[in-house]
Amino acid sequence: SNACLASHVCCDARLQVRKPSAVSFEAATTLISTWCTVHVAFVRSRLVGSRRLLVHATAGGVGLAASEYAAWLRLRLFGTAGAPRKHHLLRCCGVRSTASSRQAASCGHSLASQLGGRRLDGVLNSLSADFISTSFALLAPAGRFEEIGKRSVWSFARAAAAVPSAYSVLDMALDVPADPDWYSAEVLQVLARRLEAVVVHGLPLRSFGIEREARDAFRFLSGGANLGKVVITIPVRLGAPSSLAVAFAPLCELLDAHVSDAVRALEDLPQVTDAHEVLERAVRHDIARALSGLDPSAIPKWHHRLLYEWCAAIEPPTEPASYEDVLAVSPRLWPEVGLTQRCASQLAAALLGTVAYQELLFPGGSMELTLPVYEDAVNARFYNECVVAAVDSIIASLPAGRFLSVVEVGAGT
């Protein structure tokens, strides 16, 4: 499903089967994409017995799943890998014949030597470039080539011209949505039965918790040191209450006490209040000046015309004021003055549509003018601290280790 890194997801019910108790949730996640891909590829190839199969990138998730599947079918497996430690892992998994997955020429020479003049009966390919042609060169005329890669995939015509063998391209991202009933009955339910019978095992994995280790997981992946799969675990807290058991009355008392203390801490509250009144007069003066020569019929958009009507109803101040007057009364209103001065001077242009109001608020995409209004303005700091006090008081009343879900409701700023 989409958005899998979440505690709850919605998906097609046909793509779900019950997890056998013999396997953990972490181990099960390593098999959904890997084993299922391998199973479909092996069903198509119809290889059994002592046939010779080449699986590229055998130390990866699909490759490890394929190596176990091949051992179950008693196939003679040839694998490719990069780092020496990955070759060692493959030998521990029973893959005795390995070659390089970094250089196609070296890979072809090594595999040809190990085959001793014989040809491959099947190829499960996920590599690109020269590895494809090298694999075809080692494939018997009646062999099968299963392509599961995404890059440089050969066309059917090109593959037929290379070797008269069976060639198919497997893309589960397309096949599963096209026929979910087939995927459930022929793939997922088969996986569940084989897990229950302990025929299939989870891949080697390293798990990281999403709450504190998600960044470490991606760093570990980018370092290329992983063998098998990296699993991100999401804590599931069964039986946890869906709401906070917080009494409203005590919370109100705590907030009242905080507000009283915060108001007393505003030693310049009278000056701030007066400065807001001066700012109101300065803005009303700018609005009147912006609308004085504006023709309402020239305003193109209906919602801009509504804004014009609202602005036109505002009476000009009897005593005009400037933004310098505002800062003279209280310099702490600099955030409001900076943003208001820029927007008020361009009000007519914004109504006519010649200037985008987004550009007025966020010039060049910058938050330089807007962010101080949210963080440094006297009013914003006061109410932000009230929110912090409320959250702190709620958290203080909860038991240690309680999981909280935080929902942000906003418009993007």
Nearest CA-CA partner of 128 in 110, 147, 155, 115:
147
Give the pLDDT of residue 182. Answer: 93
Structure tokens at 249: 């009355």
For residue 40, the tally of other CB atoms under 10 A from its CB is 21
Residues ≥6 apart with Cβ < 8 Å to 237: 403
Give the pLDDT of residue 243. Answer: 64
How far is residue 166's CA from residue 143's CA, in Å, rounded to a whole number?
Answer: 6
Give the pLDDT of residue 66. Answer: 92
In the chain, which stretches have pLDDT less than 70?
1-4, 236-245, 411-413
Give the pLDDT of residue 12. Answer: 86
CB 87 within 8 A of CB 104: no
Give the pLDDT of residue 247. Answer: 76
Q: Which tens digit of pLDDT belongs to each residue from 179-192?
A: 999 999 999 999 99
Give the pLDDT of residue 242. Answer: 58
Give the pLDDT of residue 194. Answer: 92
Handedness of CA 110, 112, 116, 121 (dihedral sign): positive
Residues ≥6 apart with Cβ < 8 Å to 353: 299, 300, 301, 304
Query: How buried is residue 115: exposed, middle or buried, by Cβ count under 10 Å (0-12/13-18/19+)?
Result: middle
Q: Which tens digit of pLDDT belongs to each residue from 132-148?
A: 999 999 998 888 999 99
DSSP character for 155? Answer: P
Predicted TM-score (pTM) of the model is 0.57
Give the pLDDT of residue 411. Answer: 60
CB 230 within 8 A of CB 220: yes
- For the chain, first and last CA: distance in Å? 30
Give the pLDDT of residue 4. Answer: 66
Strand residue runs (E) in 92-243: 97-100, 120-125, 139-147, 166-169, 205-209, 229-233
DSSP 51-95: -EEEESSTTSHHHHHHHHHHHHTT-EEEEEESSHHHHHHHHHTT-
DSSP character for 129? Answer: T
DSSP 238-268: TT--SS----HHHHHHHHHHHHHHHHHH-TT
Task: Return the amino acid letter for 246.
Answer: V
Give the pLDDT of residue 310. Answer: 92
